[in-house]
Amino acid sequence: MAALLLGAVLLVLQPSLAPSHPVVPGAEPSQQEVLRKAGPPQEALRGAAAANGSAQQLPQTIIIGVRKGGTRALLEMLSLHPDVAAAENEVHFFDWEEHYSRGLGWYLGQMPFSAPHQLTVEKTPAYFTSPKVPERVHRMDPAIRLLLILRDPSERVLSDYTQVLYNHMQKHKPYPSIEEFLVRDGRLNVDYKALNRSLYHAHMQNWLRFFPLRRIHIVDGDRLIRDPFPEIQKVERFLRLAPQINASNFYFNKTKGFYCLRDSGRDRCLHESKGRAHPQVDPKLLSKLHEYFHEPNKKFFELVGRTFDWH
C-alpha cells in the first residue's frame, strides 16, 4: 500500500521534474532559470579558478540535518579528511526563499575554494525538515550524496528546547519552561514545532520521493558522540573517500565528557554550546514523550530498513 501511494505521488510529481516543462507562474524556477542566474550554463558547477588553481565548487555532498542531531560535530570530523572542503557557515540556500531566488551562482559563491580532487560539503540542518528542499536539491544534482545525522528523537526535542533557552538567556530574555511547550490541557502538545522536527519518518518520506535510499547515508548521532571513529569510517566509505581519518584523530576529554579532535597536532574541541546539559523533565512527561515517538520511530525504521537504539 505504501509503495502504491509513493508511486502515485511520483506520477503526480513527474511533470514538474522534467526540466523542459513550461514554467507555470508561481511555480518553482526551472533548472535552466536557476542556471541562467548562475551565469554560464552547465559549467556554472565550477567557479572561476584562483591563481593557485583552486576553485569554488557546488557541494557534492550536503549534511541535511537534523537540527541538534550533531551536524557540527559531523562536519568538523569530516573536515579531518584532506580531500574534504567544508563551507564554514550554514548556507540556508534551499530553505530560505531570499537565498534561493538568488540562484545557483550565489550558492556557488558561498562555497570554499578547493582543489579539483576535493569534495565540497555544506551543512544546513533545517534542510531535512523543510518540505520544499528535497525537490530543489534534486534539481541541482540528482546524483548528490546526502548525509543525515539523527539521534534519539526525545533527546533531540530537549536539546532543541535547550538551544532556544540559552539563546534567550544570553540576551537576558525570559523563556518559558519546557513543560509550558510540551503540555497543553494536561496532554502532550503535538503542535510544538520541536516535536514535529523529531518525526523523522514524515520528513524522510519527502526525501525518498526524490532520492533513493542508497543516496542518503544516516549517521547514528548517539554513536558518533560515544565512539566517533567507526561512524566516520562509514561516512568515508559512503563518500568514496580514501580511508584517511584514523583513531588517533580522536581523543577523549574527561572534563568535557566527550571526544575532541586532533588534526596534525592541532587540538580542537567542539564549542561550549555543544553537549549542554538538558533541563530536568518530570519523568512522567518524559515517558509520555517516549511513548509519542514509539510509532513514528517504528515507521522510520521500516522506511530506512534499519533500527536505532532509541527509547
Ligand X SMILES: *[C@@H]1O[C@H](CO)[C@@H](O)[C@H](O)[C@H]1NC(C)=O
**Binding site, residues?**
68-72, 151, 159, 259, 274-278
Query: Is 248 a residue that touches ligand X (CB under 6 A)?
Result: yes
Residue of 14, 246, 287, 307 interacting with ligand X (CB under 6 A): 246
Residue of 184, 226, 256, 271 interacting with ligand X (CB under 6 A): 256
Kindly state the cell numbers that stand for 53.
588553481
Could you give the dihedral angle defined by the CA atoms of residues 185, 186, 192 and 197, in that order, rounded to the nearest 10 degrees? -150
Q: Is 68 a catalytic residue?
A: yes
CB of 247 to ligand X, least distance (A): 7
Residue 185 φ/ψ region, left for φ over 0, alpha for ψ in the -120 to 50 degree band, beta for the rest:
left
Tell me the one-letter amino acid at 234.
K
User: Residues 202 to 231: which contact ligand X by CB under 6 A?
Assistant: 202
CB of 255 to ligand X, least distance (A): 4
Number of residues that bind ligand X (CB under 6 A): 17
CB nearer ligand X, residue 14 or residue 253:
253
Binding mask 44-83 for ligand X (x = CB under 6 A): ------x-x-x-----------------------------
Of the residues 68, 132, 254, 299, which is catalytic? 68
Q: Which residues of 254-281 are buried (b: 16+ CB within 10 A; e: fewer)?
A: eeeebbebeeeeeeebbeeebeeeeeeb
- The crossing angle, in degrees rounded to 10, of helices 133-140 and 31-38 is 60
Binding mask 123-162 for ligand X (x = CB under 6 A): --------x-------------------------------
DSSP label at residue 91: -
- Stated as kind and residue range, the H or E segment containing 46 is strand 46-49
> Is residue 195 a contact partner of residue 291, using CB atoms and an 8 Å limit?
no
DSSP label at residue 125: G
Find the part of the chain contacting ligand X (CB under 6 A) among 21-29, 62-70, 155-163, 253-261: 253-261
Find the part of the chain contacting ligand X (CB under 6 A) among 65-73, 139-147, 151-159, 245-253: 245-253
- Stated as kind and residue range, the H or E segment containing 158 is helix 153-170
Residue of 18, 190, 287, 295 interacting with ligand X (CB under 6 A): 190
CB nearer ligand X, residue 34 or residue 232:
232
Tell me how far CA of residue 49 lies from CA of 60, 115, 153, in angstroms.
18, 9, 43
CB nearer ligand X, residue 48 or residue 143:
48
CA neighbor of 188 nearest in space, from 264, 112, 296: 296
Binding-site entries for 3'-phosphoadenylyl sulfate: 68-72, 151, 159, 259, 274-278
Residue recorded with cell 581519518: 245
Kindly state the cell numbers that stand for 184.
497543553
| Pairwise CA distance, residues 199 & 113, whole Å | 36
Kindly state the cell numbers that stand for 260.
575532541
Binding mask 8-37 for ligand X (x = CB under 6 A): ------------------------------
Find the part of the chain contacting ligand X (CB under 6 A) among 68-76, 140-148, 195-203, 289-297: 195-203
Contact residues for ligand X, defined by CB under 6 A? 50, 52, 54, 113, 131, 190, 196, 199, 202, 246, 248, 253, 255-256, 260, 267, 269
Catalytic machinery residues: 68
